[in-house]
């Protein structure tokens, strides 16, 4: 009888492992996560586990990264034999996390999992009051700078995962972290080509915390708000001309026409003067080129990091030659800060493009949003 029972147990275990292997090898049997705009990642749900693929962690990435996300009660022995197939195998939901960009903070808070954040490089840059309170109470450790994270402190924290941010993958610190056994997943929200695609990366965090439904609901609300604002902007009777950027070392840097900044200005129904330009990164122009095209621009949006008109003029006297400067029509998000100096726009703007769009509509078509108060932007005094 004992031999029969033992045989039965072995047969059951073998069958379970064979079923897991079958699921793992049937690439199209998983239920894909529904994404409307984002192209930089995919997720397939196989019930007992999920496969996360990061396709675009940075521009022109030559490879994608694969992660097995395991729900509780997984077969340790089976997944140990499969680990070579993945960049990391991670148990979910995540209980302790380190993120490396302030743009990751809003997703954690919207999903109500901010208590899982245990470390961050450059905590002074975080503006959110909720997370700032956790920092002030010693619940989020300072990890130094993103380019050189204090690995000693990070290893002491023992996070389940580190959400990285990189421009080319050549980050020795992240390699050190991975070699220590802590998984690193690169978040590529910033590589996406539209405001809503960037915002949809909240679903990436939803997967890590088994909160896909919540993430989907949050994004749908943001999308609805954005599209309604975009439709409202079409009712504007005029399209003000827009200048952006500023001079640095005799070079004027401003968004190209395919950037998310330009797309926001388009959706706000404005005439961004460089909307027909293409390429990656920002445009680099000389003063004469900018002045000849934008001297009479109605509104100047985001003049770099200058906090007032005096600083803008002091940096380069040519700035004062534009009509928007003389007519006091310059708006910037640089002065809306958290208590430690972090700029709110840099933190929340990616996740909430609906608020950014409504700010631009309020600035450019104030009659359309009479009762709306600017969230990120302020007039440069």
366, 358 contact by CB (below 8 A): no
Residue 106: C-alpha distances to residues 70, 73, 202 (Å): 25, 30, 9
What's the DSSP call for residue 159? Answer: -
pLDDT at residue 135 is higher than 70: yes
d(Cα 235, Cα 298) in Å, to the nearest integer?
A: 19
Q: What is the overall mean pLDDT for the chain?
A: 90
pLDDT at residue 4 is higher than 80: no
Range 2-222 classified under CATH 3.40.50.1220: no
pLDDT on residue 381: 93
Our measurement of the distance from residue 252's CA atom to the centroid of its chain's CA atoms, rounded to an integer in Å, reads: 26
Residue located via tokens 């609805």: 224
Where in the chain are the domains?
2-222, 234-379
For the segment 172-184, the average pLDDT, to the nearest whole number, is: 92
Q: How confident is the model at residue 282 (pLDDT cuts 50, 70, 90)?
A: confident
The two domains 2-222 and 234-379 share their CATH topology (first three levels equal)? yes
For the segment 174-200, the average pLDDT, to the nearest whole number, is: 95
For the segment 252-266, the average pLDDT, to the nearest whole number, is: 95
d(Cα 98, Cα 141) in Å, to the nearest integer?
A: 10
pLDDT at residue 121 is higher than 70: yes
pLDDT tens digits along 344-365: 999 999 999 999 999 999 999 9
Q: How confident is the model at residue 171 (pLDDT cuts 50, 70, 90)?
A: confident
pLDDT tens digits along 313-337: 999 999 999 999 999 999 999 999 9
Is the four-CA dihedral 295, 301, 306, 311 of positive or negative sign?
positive
184, 211 contact by CB (below 8 A): no
pLDDT on residue 25: 45
For the segment(s) 234-379, the CATH number from 3.40.190.10, 3.40.50.2300, 3.30.390.10, 3.40.50.1980 is 3.40.50.1980
pLDDT tens digits along 64-74: 999 999 988 77
Q: Is the peptide bond before 153 cis (omega within 30 degrees of 0)?
A: no
For the segment 164-192, the average pLDDT, to the nearest whole number, is: 90
List the single range of 195-209, 213-227, 273-287, 306-320 with lowest mean pLDDT.
273-287
pLDDT at residue 152 is higher than 50: yes
């Amino acid at each position: 009888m004992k031999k029969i029972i033992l045989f039965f147990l072995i047969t059951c275990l073998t069958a379970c492992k064979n079923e897991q292997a079958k699921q793992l090898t049937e690439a199209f049997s998983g239920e894909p996560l529904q994404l409307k705009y984002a192209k930089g990642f995919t997720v397939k749900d196989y019930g007992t586990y999920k496969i996360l693929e990061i396709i675009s962690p940075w521009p022109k990435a030559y490879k994608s990264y694969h992660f097995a996300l395991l729900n509780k009660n997984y077969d340790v022995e089976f997944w140990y034999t499969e680990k070579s197939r993945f960049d990391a195998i991670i148990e979910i939901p995540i209980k302790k996390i380190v993120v490396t960009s302030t743009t990751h903070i809003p997703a954690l808070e919207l999903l109500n999992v901010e208590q899982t954040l245990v470390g961050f490089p450059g905590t002074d840059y975080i503006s959110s009051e909720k997370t700032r309170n956790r920092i002030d109470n010693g619940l989020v450790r300072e990890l130094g700078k993103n380019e050189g994270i204090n690995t000693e402190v990070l290893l002491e924290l023992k996070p389940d995962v580190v959400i990285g941010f990189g421009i080319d993958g050549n980050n020795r610190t992240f390699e050190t972290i991975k070699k220590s056994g802590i998984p690193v997943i690169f978040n590529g929200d910033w590589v996406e080509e539209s405001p809503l695609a960037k915002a949809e990366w909240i679903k990436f965090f939803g997967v890590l915390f088994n909160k896909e439904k919540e993430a989907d609901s949050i994004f749908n609300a943001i999308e609805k708000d954005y599209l309604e604002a975009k439709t409202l902007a079409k009712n504007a009777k005029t399209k003000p001309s827009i200048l952006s950027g500023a001079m640095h070392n005799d070079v004027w840097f401003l968004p190209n026409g395919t950037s998310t900044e330009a797309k926001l200005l388009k959706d706000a129904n404005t005439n961004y003067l460089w909307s027909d330009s293409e390429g990656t990164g920002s445009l680099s122009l000389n003063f004469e080129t900018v002045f000849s095209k934008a001297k009479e621009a109605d509104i100047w949006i985001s003049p770099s990091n200058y906090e007032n008109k005096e600083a803008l003029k002091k940096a380069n006297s040519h700035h004062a030659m534009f009509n928007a400067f003389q007519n006091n029509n310059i708006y910037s998000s640089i002065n809306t800060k958290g208590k430690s100096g972090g700029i709110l726009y840099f933190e929340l703007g990616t996740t909430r493009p609906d608020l950014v769009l409504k700010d631009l509509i309020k600035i450019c078509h104030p009659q359309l949003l009479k009762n709306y108060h600017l969230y990120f932007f302020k007039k440069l005094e």
